[in-house]
Structures are given as C-alpha cells and as structure tokens.
Amino acid sequence: MKELRTEDPKYTDVDIKIIDEERQPEIAKKYNYYYVPTYFVGDTKIHEGVPTKEIVKKVFDDSLK
C-alpha cells in the first residue's frame, strides 16, 4: 500500500481503516470474511487472502470511483 501511494499520489486520498479482529471484534463481526487480509470498499468485498500489488491497486482504484 505504501509503495502504491508513493508511486501515485492520487492513492493518498484513499481512506484506509485497518480493523484488528482481536482488538476490535465488535467491528470485525460486521464483515463476512474468512481469510485476512480482506479488502472491502464500502460493504463490497473486493479481495480476500494474500494480496498482490495489482490487487491492492484494484482496491484503491475501486475506492476512488
């Protein structure tokens, strides 16, 4: 994520919230996921599991729409 933000400044506008399922179980329970990390844009799951740079770019692009 940091690398993409460095490469393209438009990605600094993406609001990222990292939810720790152990520290914030009440928030984590609101989402349908099995693997971490899981990326959501709004309530839509975009990716679940190990991400690649291309996947994170897609998440960022989807969030900027």
pLDDT for 37 equals 96
pLDDT for 3 equals 96
pLDDT for 40 equals 97
Work out how many domains the chain is built from and give that number: 1
- What number is the average pLDDT over the span 3-25? 96
pLDDT for 15 equals 94
- What number is the average pLDDT over the span 2-23? 96
Q: Which domain holds residue 6?
A: 2-63
- What number is the average pLDDT over the span 25-53? 95
**What is the distance between the terminal CA atoms of the chain, rounded to a whole angstrom?**
18
Alpha helices in 1-65 (DSSP H): 2-7, 25-28, 53-63
